[in-house]
Amino acid sequence: MTWPVRLPVDLDPDGETARRWVSEELGKDDYYDGRSLFQRIMQWLEDLFQRLFGGGPSAGSVPGVSPIVTALVVALVLGLLALLLTRIRAERHTVQSGESVLGDLDLSAVQFRDRGEAALRERRWGDAVVEFTRAIAREAADRTLLTEAPSLTAHEVGGQLAPVFPDHAARIAPAMDLFDAVRYGRYAATEADAREVAALATALRSAKPVLTGVTP
């Protein structure tokens, strides 16, 4: 790779400008030699740090680039890499290790539904998904359809409710998966998602549970 890296040193870059500079630099033909994007980024960082902190007369600076601009670019790249690693770890977070649906929230099913309706009106689709899922869990707990309700994860709530409401089993599991996806930031719920969970909460309220050996 040919040095120096030419950056517009007459500018004080904002975040978007710095990202564009990095993208342009990594888009040069010098980097396209069959390596993956990650490998190219790491090579670029290695070369940059060698210029900054390696030996020789140019150590501590990149020719043609102010130290402040160079530091900003390095910080930006490291920040983007850290963000990427954080998102990867979040994706690997399993449903079983998730938090309980109800937790320490001492609210009634009516209160959860009210919160869900408010979220719908304000177009906060993710919050609506969460609140209506909690309404489902609280309603089921009040009807003694769940065991150890306060500690149950969404996956566990779904596992207990699906056999009790077989006519709605195909809708229960996706709703519980959606709760986890929204809570862990893996997914941005849509209006259709929110209204589906709201409709499921309404349907389960009036549905007759199928109980084996127990009188409803």
pLDDT at 135 over 80: yes
pLDDT at 154 over 60: yes
92, exposed or middle or buried, with CB in 10 Å at 0-12, 13-18, 19+?
exposed
pLDDT at 17 over 70: no
Distances (CA, A) of 122 to 117, 162, 181, 184, 191: 9, 30, 21, 21, 11
Query: What pLDDT shows up at residue 146?
Result: 87
Query: What pLDDT shows up at residue 89?
Result: 55
The mean per-residue pLDDT over the stretch 124-131 comes to 94
pLDDT at 204 over 90: yes
Rounded-to-integer distance, Cα 192 and Cα 206, Å: 22
pLDDT above 70 covers a percentage of the chain that reads 57
Would you place residue 96 in the very low, low, confident or very high pLDDT band (cuts 50, 70, 90)? very low
Would you place residue 29 in the very low, low, confident or very high pLDDT band (cuts 50, 70, 90)? low
The mean per-residue pLDDT over the stretch 112-140 comes to 94
At 42, the amino acid letter reads M
The mean per-residue pLDDT over the stretch 188-203 comes to 94
Helix (H), strand (E) at residue 118: helix 109-121
pLDDT in tens, 162-187: 999 999 999 999 999 999 889 887 78
At 63, the amino acid letter reads P
Is residue 165 within 8 Å of residue 154, measured between CB atoms? no
The mean per-residue pLDDT over the stretch 155-166 comes to 92
At 47, the amino acid letter reads D
pTM (two decimals): 0.55
Q: What is the CA radius of gyration of the chain?
A: 26
Query: What pLDDT shows up at residue 9?
Result: 47
Rounded-to-integer distance, Cα 119 and Cα 142, Å: 23
